[in-house]
Amino acid sequence: MTTHEDLADHTLRAAVRKGRMNRRAWIVTGLLVAFQIINFADKAVIGLVAGPAMKELGLTSGQFGFIGSAFFFLFSIAGIAVGFIAGKVPTRWILLTMGVSWAVLQFPMLFGGGAAVLLVTRILLGAAEGPATPISLQHAQAWFSPKERGLPSSVVAAGSAIGPIIAAPLLAWVIANPALGWRWAFGLLGVVGLMWSLAWLIFGREGPYGHASAPAEKADAEVNAGPDTDSRGEANLDAKPSIADYSDLLRMVPIRRVLGSWMFLVALLAGAGCFWAQGFLSTWSPKYLSSVVDLKPEMIGLVSTFPWIVGAGALLILGFASRYLMKRGVTVRWAMGALFGVTLLISGLCFTILPHMHGYGAVGFLTVGAGLALIYPLAPTAIAFCVCSKQRAAVMATLTGFASIGGVIAPAMVGVFMDRAGYSADPQGVGDTAEMASRLADGMNSSFILIGIYLTCVGLLSVVLLNPDRTARSLQKKFSFSG
């Protein structure tokens, strides 16, 4: 049986102090970080192979763009569906299924698949990757007590921001290597995916704070989560202000009530803004840096990683901050929801100022603005505190599924503003004239102002309304029922 002292060793401080960094909790967390890096690489590979793939497969830009968009056809639907399934099936097996699926779906292109195969595999890959973030967060949180969850959640989420820094240069090297070529970019991801799946099969286990844990471990974890209960053994929600003291003792509530709360709506609107920034970085950032900022080609690849570095750093800093505050009794609203909101507010202000900047000043504001908008995982982590462990994946997956629409809107929205500004690309591919570069800048700047105002507003709303403590108490008093 897991004792109180053993569970305490799952904290980062205890692991560092005792020199036991190979504790199971942090091994699992490390594997989930790698999982998120692979997740990004699987998304990014289609853009990296665009040139040689279009040439070999005889695809037009429109046809290749359709294949790229196909990744999102089932992304949200699958993410939400698997989120609900995760309340009944151990997330260990869901993650293993995803890892193997990702790997297997890469090999058809390595072995000579054509355009139709590429289309089908991207649709299926999107469905397999839809649940990645909520399920990995759910699994990581099951290894840590409520007040410790902010840090590991941020560490796992940082994997998505680290992905561009690690995966993009490696895949670019493979594609450019005459002995390998663009098809081996898919092959490499398949091999790495199988290696990760094997490691997960060996080391991946359910954490003691999850609903699928062994009864003895779960009992000890619940005792460790909060000592104040009523005569029926249920959480006394009025004993302490922070729901972090009782989140593992909450009972099930109707999911529709959670999804219909002001807290969820604000998290959804804020999340859509975060995904907008991701969509812009993945699609239009290199074009902005080349045509508007006028960076040399060899600098664009390097500078394009800056926002992701800022995003990873912001997630880690906010993770440490939320853990520090919650350990000292600060409520989840202020320790996580308010930090999330203030960060988005700063991001929005940077985007609003960006159109008035030039040169390296523009690079700086774009880096900070877009980088700070990459903190989306804090939103599902915060709202997860208001429901029991069986319902966390469903709530987080539903939030992610709908919020990801912002990533779909971003490329089209920026393109519309560019068209309205009168921009048209040089059909010879030589480059933009000064006049076209100015029009491109006008179009992008219009989108920056709009998203800047939007992020500023949702940041303020998050500070005020992203309140899992109040939502959890309200739901438990009105609707709690036994699962």
Which range (146-155, 255-264, 278-287, 378-387) has the least confidence? 278-287
Q: Which residues contact 240 (CB under 8 A, 6 or more apart)?
A: 226, 228, 246, 329
Taking the C-alpha atoms of residue 209 and residue 28, their distance in angstroms, rounded to an integer, is: 14
Phi and psi based region of residue 261 (left: phi greater than 0; alpha: psi -120 to 50; beta: remaining): beta
Calculate mean pLDDT across residues 336-359.
96
Output the pLDDT for position 52: 87
- Chain mean position to CA 180: 31
Q: Of residues 216 and 291, which shows the higher confidence score?
A: 291
- Chain mean position to CA 467: 21
Calculate mean pLDDT across residues 22-30.
83
Highest mean pLDDT (candidates 8-12, 59-63, 77-81, 433-437): 77-81
Taking the C-alpha atoms of residue 271 and residue 466, their distance in angstroms, rounded to an integer, is: 12
Question: What are the structural domain ranges in the chain?
Answer: 1-225, 232-483
The two structure tokens encoding residue 62: 């429109």
Same CATH topology for 1-225 and 232-483: the answer is: yes
* Residue 233 DSSP symbol: S
Select from 232, 224, 195 the least CA-distant residue to 207: 224
Query: Could you tell me if 392 and 404 are in contact, meaning their C-beta atoms sit under 8 angstroms apart?
Result: no
pLDDT band at 22 (very low <50, low <70, confident <90, very high): very low
Q: How far is residue 457 from each of residues 175, 248, 384, measured CA to CA in Å?
A: 42, 32, 23
Q: How much of the chain, in percent, has pLDDT values that exceed 70?
A: 86
Place of tokens 């005889």: 58
In whole numbers, what is the pLDDT of the chain averaged over residues?
Answer: 84
Output the pLDDT for position 251: 87
Q: Is the pLDDT of residue 238 over 80?
A: no
Q: What is the domain class of 1-225 according to CATH?
A: mainly alpha
Measured at the CA of 96, the angle between CA 93 and CA 99, to 5 degrees, comes to 155
Statement: 232-483 belongs to CATH 1.20.1250.20: yes
Highest mean pLDDT (candidates 42-46, 337-341, 429-433): 337-341
Q: Which residues contact 408 (CB under 8 A, 6 or more apart)?
A: 69, 72, 279
pLDDT band at 234 (very low <50, low <70, confident <90, very high): low
**C-alpha radius of gyration, the chain, whole number:** 23
Select from 84, 243, 70 the least CA-distant residue to 149: 243
Q: Is the pLDDT of residue 91 over 70?
A: yes
The pTM score is 0.81
Q: How far is residue 443 from each of residues 73, 194, 195, 209, 369, measured CA to CA in Å?
A: 27, 43, 44, 49, 18
Q: Of residues 264 and 5, which shows the higher confidence score?
A: 264
Query: Could you tell me if 80 and 401 are in contact, meaning their C-beta atoms sit under 8 angstroms apart?
Result: yes
